[in-house]
Chains A and B, each alone.
Chain A
Amino acid sequence: MEILFILVPVSLLIVMISLAAFVWSVHHRQFDDLDKEAERILFEDEKLE
């Protein structure tokens, strides 16, 4: 079980990274308009060339 002494800090590191990523994305307006992004897939991208 000594492996926990490595795994728990590693998982903490991952949590901290994901928290930072979340805060970054909120502040970069990734969550500002969820309706539009949800429906984007329903519309044809007409710029195919």
Chain B
Amino acid sequence: MNDLAMAHSSIESKLHFLVPDVRCAGCCLKIERELSDLPDVSDVNVNYAEKRLSFTSVSPGGAESALTRLTALGYQATPEKNRGELDMYQDQRRALLARLGVAGIGMMQVMMFALTSYLSGSDGIQPEYEALMRWAAFVISLPVVLYSAMPFHQGAWRDIRNRTAGMDVPVSIAVISAFSLSAVHTVLGTGEVYFDSACMFTFFLLTGRYLELAARQNFHVEQLLGDHLLPEVARTVSGQMIPLAELQVGDVLLIKKGEVIPADCIVTRGTTTADESAFTGESEPAFKKIGSGLLAGTVNLDGEVEGKVSASKSEWVISHLSELYRSAASFRPAFAILADRVARYFVGIVLVLAASSGVFWWYQGADNYFAIALAVLVVSCPCALSLATPIAYAIATGASRKMGLLISSGEFLEKLGRTTTVVFDKTGTLTEGSLKLEQMVGLSIDLSRQQLIDIAASLETSSLHPIAVTLRELSSELHEVGEPGIEPGFGVSGVVGGDIYRLGSPAYVLVGETPPSEDDGNWVLLSRNETPLAWFCFTDRPRAEAGTTIETLKQLVGSVLVYSGDSSENGRRLLNALGIDNPAMSMTPDEKISRVRALQASGEKVLMVGDGLNDAGAMAAADISLAVNPVDTLVQSAADATLVNGDLGSIPRVLRYAGKVRSVIGQNLFWAFSYNLLVIPLAVLGFVPPWLAALGMSMSSLIVTLNACRLSRTG
């Protein structure tokens, strides 16, 4: 903890920590009150929105006593890394809020002065009073135009210097020209004034910018919290503390009760429950036993466990999450890029159009030629067009996480909405994947039941297949295995004590052998040196929500298929009971791939849902893929999205949500396009006064942003 060390060296220092556990404003107040009582700490402040604690340590040891008190209260604090980013957002937000407030107050005041001449009727007000009102409006517009609208002027200036035409150019030109012309008319005491339009335009545009920044900031805070979930070091079983960056796959870690799990690992000893709410949105703690996966950054709640690190740091779910957040913020789907390109040309066209319609009406002798040019300029600004998609995507990615969905490919939501066929894997996806050893038939007299299980479990040591997990749980001791081999979907092999053992389906172990009984279940054969040793029969239960999920999916997308590697009659019956009439059984991974390709060739858009290595190929072949509770990081990195909470019931929800995202983006683009196409001709013809133009243009940006904000509700 470098911050602690720093606190010791200087007498008085300002310290910042992130406290991810803060759940409500009440927590903030409690922490503030408790820490303020400490003698060596002052200026305690907890920001709820950012879950950020800051205080001044007035004497050496202040930080330590504050953190001790905080831990006693049940909160964990981590020193803030890369503070600059958050500070930058904070500063931006404050600056924008100040500008927005000034524009809002200014707009209301200017409107009151403008109202006097609007309401004065045909006789008009006396010229000296009208001049007074104009001067007053001029004075109030000054801070709005020079202070509030400054970001637009700066942006426009930057664009002009770079010889591009951004969105800020027409905005800035409109505000400045409306203001300067009105100022000239005020001084001369002739013509029209447009102070009210200039102020209103600025205010509404700033509102849109503010909402956009707030959405981005929320996004960023969540991402930063993700980065801060991890501890600095991990403890190995031998008691050694290793920095996270130096952890190797296969290191065995000891994780004590209440600690943050430092790495993605597989439990090798002990049982516990883990709080995975930060990842899955599921508040119910997840039960963990031998073979279960632990996620880095989640909290070990009530037992001491040992876990073997299962992937390198960059492959951890939490690293994917941070990466995803970074890329989602900058992800632009194809049509957003198109909209942007259109918007760029649009700006140039708008400028030309505004200028030429002004010139035309001036040539025609119309008094209000400037008002018309101004209206055209303002009304046609394509802000809404360029906002329509990015804001919707940013909000949708954040919201999906609340449904337990981790999206790693930007196109996932876009493509999900067009899915016509859903293909499921059976074991581990539709079923719970935790198998029960139902029956065991020994064919050898020299080995006991337990010895056979131990040998089988040893062969499966490196496998994450449900059978392996069950066998490991039943085993009493594991043997050293030489030359381990694994054939996904078929079985495993290895050398124990000089003998070659194979374990798996009969087709893999010894062709021609048949299970000893017709009983339901998944029969697996163990052989030594090509002699059959024992049959194991495993049974599996379907997930509670599998039936209803399939039912709902059939209604939503039409076609639901199952490709299973399982060959048992039991498996087929189980699937029939779930509503799958014609499951494809005994499929090898290659067959799954070719069947998926065949579906695509017939025009279907395929979503492949799987969990294991034997599905990875088919998942890559499908249009989009979803991994459910993947036990293997390879499967997860191959999938376009991962359902971390393992709740199949989320799939229909996610599908509906994807539809909603698509329709919101569609509405946004439709609105933005049709608004511009409809209103520009009216403005050119002189039917739109500048104030109405300002209102319409800003409202269309605002509507697009607010429409996208609807996506934050996932229900």
Binding site for B on A (CB under 8 A): 1, 4-5, 8-9, 11-12, 15-16, 18-19, 22-23, 26-27, 29, 31-33, 35-36, 38-40, 42-43, 45-47
Contacts and interface: CB of A to CB of B under 8 A. Distances in A.
B361 interface: no
8 contacts: A15-B106, A19-B105, A19-B143, A32-B90, A33-B48, A38-B25, A39-B25, A47-B33
B89 to A, nearest CB: 12
Given A4-B132, A5-B132, A27-B94, A36 B102 contact: no
A35 B25 CA distance: 6
A15 B4 CA distance: 47
A23 B97 CA distance: 9
Contacts of A22: 98, 101-102, 105
Nearest to A23: B98
Main secondary structure, interface of B, reads: helix
Given A12-B139, A15-B109, A35 B49 contact: yes
Contacts of A9: 136
B29 interface: yes
A29 B90 CA distance: 10
B581 interface: no
Interface residues of B, number: 28
Given A4-B132, A23-B98, A39-B25, A33 B143 contact: no
Contact of B102 (A5, A23, A45): A23
B140 interface: yes
Contacts of A27: 94, 98
Contacts of A36: 25, 28-29, 46-48
A18 B25 CA distance: 29
Interface in B519-539: none
B132 A8 contact: yes
A7 to B, nearest CB: 10
Contacts of A31: 94, 97
B139 to A, nearest CB: 5
Of A9, A29, A35, most buried by chain B (CB within 10 Å of CB) is A35
A5 B130 CA distance: 11
List the 4 closest A-B pairs by CB distance, nearest first.
A39-B25, A26-B98, A36-B25, A35-B25
A1 B25 contact: no
B3 interface: no
Given A12-B136, A22-B101, A27-B98, A43 B37 contact: no
B129 interface: yes
Contact of A4 (B29, B90, B98, B129): B129
A15 B90 CA distance: 27
Contacts of B94: 26-27, 29, 31-32
Contact of A15 (B30, B97, B105): B105
Contacts of B29: 36, 39-40, 43
